[in-house]
Amino acid sequence: MRFDPAIALIDCNNFFVSCERVFDPALKNRPVVVLSHNDGCVISRSNSVKEMGVKMAQPFFEVKGLLESHNTAVISSNLSVYCEISREVMNIVRENLGSNAVEVYSIDEAFLDLGTPDKTTEVGFHLKEAIEASTGIPVSVGIAKTKTLTKLANNLAKKSQKTRGMLDLYDSPYLNLALEKTPVGDIWGIGPKNAKRLKDVNINTALALSSTSVEFVRKHLNLFGGRTVLELRGTKCIPFERTFADKKSIAHTRSFGRAISSYTEVKNAVLNFSVRAVERMRRDGLAAKTITVFLRTNRFKRDYSAQSVKYNSVYHSDLKNEINKWALACFERIFEPDLQYKKAGIILTGLVKADLMSNRLYERASFERWRYLADVVDELNYRYGRDTVKLASVSELGAGQGSHEFKNKNSKMTEIRRQRDTNTSEFRRFI
């Protein structure tokens, strides 16, 4: 018997705020906002902050007084930590459904191919419970026949307490009711401008849009508008992406909390950034052949300086110690002691799969021993927390980048991973 595979969308609720609450439970009952890099604008809000009327991407200075009056916790973003938790969430899903059943859509969202639609509700609730039990991150789950309907179901699951955070609209008798309750502007892919055009012709809800002819919608919007109509009717038009393009580069850049000119401080920053970039690269099973190092002063001052230099290696490498030597060589070429540096960064390019690296003509045995040691270090840091074992040449990062908070989060990440390993086997037995 033929059937349409069920699609699910897992979306972490207020993701950056939820991450901060995992590390600091005292924030659970407080309004919380997370700010963009350099504290420019609001990029994540707790529900109570949304109720205040604070908008996504709103400049912080516009709402600073309002937030202070409500005793709101204001936190600078820590994207490296959020990425770590995102990976843990996605790993939980992969380990239970298989890598081929997961399409990572963003840092806090993933589409899932649930296959046969016979136990969708049970799978949805248990995935939700497994993620929340292992990571502490609350998630919403929407299930339907198409990606557009799945997005719609997920949005309703977030808003309605009756759903308990999981809404299954696959062949549901409540599908039309869900479409009727969804404003046309909330439909995935419509956007404010297209929503206004549709409202001008009296199409105000998802149900009204799904009942409109494809030709009419294409005339008023475009080809993609017609595709949305078909998706709302249950016809799959947006494919499930099981493969992803290989990464072309991996970068790690940061602005310093204050301008610095110390050789040691800037060097430590560059080497730390190199280590973090290589960690990301190794997690993806890649190796690099080229590194670019750049240093910049304050771009709002007259003596603005921006310098970069590239190192091209003969061989690919995925070793921290070797790539740090490349980074140090680049740093030595561009550092000027009289400048006040405000930003630095590392970019790794020439990426290939690590298992496809060409063999070295010289010191091949030594290189393989270092790779074996690197694998052991990765495992230790995975089990006991980042930087449990690290290069002696890399000091604690200064320049206004506090490390105390990071260490607390480091130990919490270890706890999350152990909890995930425990819960995964229990969930598999249920399935």
- CATH number, position 87: 3.30.70.270
In angstroms, the CA 249 to CA 356 distance is 17
Residue 276 sits in the same domain as residue 373 = yes
pLDDT of residue 254 exceeding 70, the answer is yes
Last residue of a domain, one of 138, 171, 204: 171
Is residue 125 situated within a structural domain? yes
In angstroms, the CA 146 to CA 228 distance is 10
Is residue 312 situated within a structural domain? yes
Backbone torsions φ then ψ of 260, nearest 5 degrees: -130, 150
Residue 21 sits in the same domain as residue 75 = yes
More confident residue, 380 or 60: 60
What pLDDT is recorded for position 405? 42
Give which of 315, 358, 411 is closest to 84, Cα–Cα. 411
Is residue 355 situated within a structural domain? yes
What one-character DSSP code corresponds to residue 213? -
Is residue 114 situated within a structural domain? yes
Is residue 85 situated within a structural domain? yes
Q: Which residue has the tokens 């991973």?
A: 417
177: confidence class by pLDDT, cuts 50, 70, 90: very high
Residue 156 sits in the same domain as residue 8 = yes
Per DSSP, the three-state class of 230 is helix
Is residue 35 situated within a structural domain? yes
Helix H or strand E segment including 139: strand 139-144
pLDDT of residue 42 exceeding 60, the answer is yes
State the SS3 of 416-428.
HHHHHHHHHHHHH
Give which of 348, 362, 361 is closest to 319, Cα–Cα. 348
Residue 363 sits in the same domain as residue 304 = yes
What pLDDT is recorded for position 430? 42
pLDDT tens, residue by residue, 44-89: 999 999 999 999 999 999 999 999 999 999 999 888 789 889 989 9
In CATH, what number is assigned to the domain containing residue 370?
3.30.1490.100
pLDDT tens, residue by residue, 262-274: 999 999 999 999 9
pLDDT tens, residue by residue, 273-315: 999 999 889 988 899 999 999 999 998 888 899 999 999 999 9
407: confidence class by pLDDT, cuts 50, 70, 90: very low
What pLDDT is recorded for position 244? 52
Is residue 141 situated within a structural domain? yes
Boundaries of domain holding 277:
249-384
Across all residues in the chain, what is the average pLDDT? 87
Alpha helices (H) along 116-245: 120-135, 147-159, 175-181, 191-200, 206-210, 214-220, 223-232
Residue 99 sits in the same domain as residue 239 = no
Residue 135 sits in the same domain as residue 197 = no
Count of domains for the chain: 3
Residue 257 sits in the same domain as residue 235 = no
Give the contacts of 27 (CB within 8 A, at least 6 positions apart): 17, 20, 21, 73
Last residue of a domain, one of 140, 171, 202: 171
Residue 275 sits in the same domain as residue 355 = yes
Is residue 165 situated within a structural domain? yes
Last residue of a domain, one of 190, 218, 244: 244
Cα–Cα distances (Å) from 283 to 53, 131, 243, 303, in that order, read 39, 21, 17, 39
Residue 115 sits in the same domain as residue 204 = no
In CATH, what number is assigned to the domain containing residue 207?
1.10.150.20
Residue 72 sits in the same domain as residue 116 = yes
Residue 179 sits in the same domain as residue 164 = no
More confident residue, 38 or 9: 9
What one-character DSSP code corresponds to residue 189? T
What pLDDT is recorded for position 40? 85
pLDDT of residue 243 exceeding 80, the answer is no
Residue 225 sits in the same domain as residue 311 = no
- Tell me, what amino acid is at 399? A
